[in-house]
Structure 1
Amino acid sequence: MLKKPHLIRSDSTLISDAVFSNGSSESYVSFLQPSRIMRYSALLVPILWYICLFLSALGLYLGIWVAPSDFQQGENYRILFIHVPSAWMSVLLYFFLTLTSAGFFFNKHPIFIYGSRIFCAIGALFTCLTLLTGSLWGKPMWGTFWVWDARLTSVLILLFIYLGAMLLYKWSPDVAPLFVFIGLLNIPIIKFSVNWWNTLHQPSSITQFGTEIHISMLVPMNALFFQFFLLVLLLFLLELRREIHNKTIDSLVQSFRTVPYPK
């Protein structure tokens, strides 16, 4: 007699925890059960949507209509309200990717590999946004869309690392975490390149000792950064829910194919 798998209904979809199990009974792994992820994310997703919309409207309003013009750059500097938060997120996402990669390296739970793939895609997206907005800002300021500046080059390398990790997680998942760990060496280069080399970028205006940015510019920049942060969490949950749905449906279809019809 075939044993019926433990199924939990979430969002009108049957979620099988056994499909995603790696055989571990540790409590932190049990927390990663798809049934729990689906249940809690269903509560978080609408809340995140509303907060993201509010912070986006607040940040754009303050950045476009309230913040004064820069006496050197004029109105061109306003693109930095998108460029700087996206640059912060492109680096922060790599730390998230490193954490999920470490989780997959030491514990082969499927959720870790799905999380790593998602962070690769979102990280590449924010890195592209960083390079695009930086180029649009650089054209009127530097007279060109691109220069082989140390920071620009290191951010471009970050994009290639995201894309490389994305391909490795698809073709050779066991090797991908090692590639991600090596790529972590690029993060200090991005951060300190303006101090180590003579670059077109100015040193950081926001440090642990204070900030050189006026409050009228700092508030919308931080609002848009937190909006990006919550947007990343929202995209992560939505994509993870989609992966769980697809994996569960594929598993159920396969089980129906292998179960013999009663005679």
Structure 2
Amino acid sequence: MTLVNLHDFLNDYFTSNHCEILENNNGKLHIQLTDKMDELLMNRPFYWQYVKKLGYPGEPMKISFITNPNRREEEGEWIHFGSPRLHQIFRALQTQGKFTKLYEHVQSGQRTALVPWLVTNLKISYSGKQKKDEIVSIGLQLINGAMNLNMMQDLDTISLKPKISDFSYTMTPIIRMKSGYQRILNYVEQELQNKDHIWAEESWNHLQSEKKLLEHFYQDTTEDEEYENRFEQELKDIESLYKPVIDISVINGGLFYLTQQTSNKLFLSR
């Protein structure tokens, strides 16, 4: 299962939202935000209310993100899986809409069939003694069921438009979208089952140790109702901290219509 590089994810996200990438080099992104993205991410509601009320053009900010651990001391915002800024971007994606439909731009002047692909970007969150997030981008061809496991990165070089090009037409999917989505989930779940889950065993063992310590602390207070309630609450808190859990959530997705030539290249890059 191929994981999308965080740096590429950020580059794709801001590019798709019409932000200018001023620098993209060795784990550092310097971005000129648009008005809309500044309002969405930079927490300046008073400023934007002020300039809009006066009818002035706003001045969106620039922002730098560092994803390379070796450069985290440089000027810019260190961003990583689990960081508040990344969670903010995930929330922004949800408010912007989770589903899109795009067509490959074709200029051949000839009738061109476009093949339907269901693209799903998922966040896999591991909770336990240690926490981490991963992003997975999977494309499923809705004619023959073939998968691409690095879809968003492979789509990065393809010209996509919200309107279909002249002389192009879409092929009717053989696989229903609901069925396609379930195939993607089944694949991800199977891959997770095949992974080494030493982290889960360590989290579970740590949880049991913490529970024993808690029980030992409260062992002589079980007849006191106040202490019993406190014990139950602390037990729940410990379980929420250390119980190993894997959560799969949808970031966004879409239906992408691509030429057969592009589709063939996507098969080769799996």
TM-score normalised by the chain length of structure 1? 0.25
TM-score normalised by the chain length of structure 2? 0.25
Higher strand share: 2
- Say which one has the larger Rg: 2
Higher relative contact order (CA 8 A, sep 6+): 1
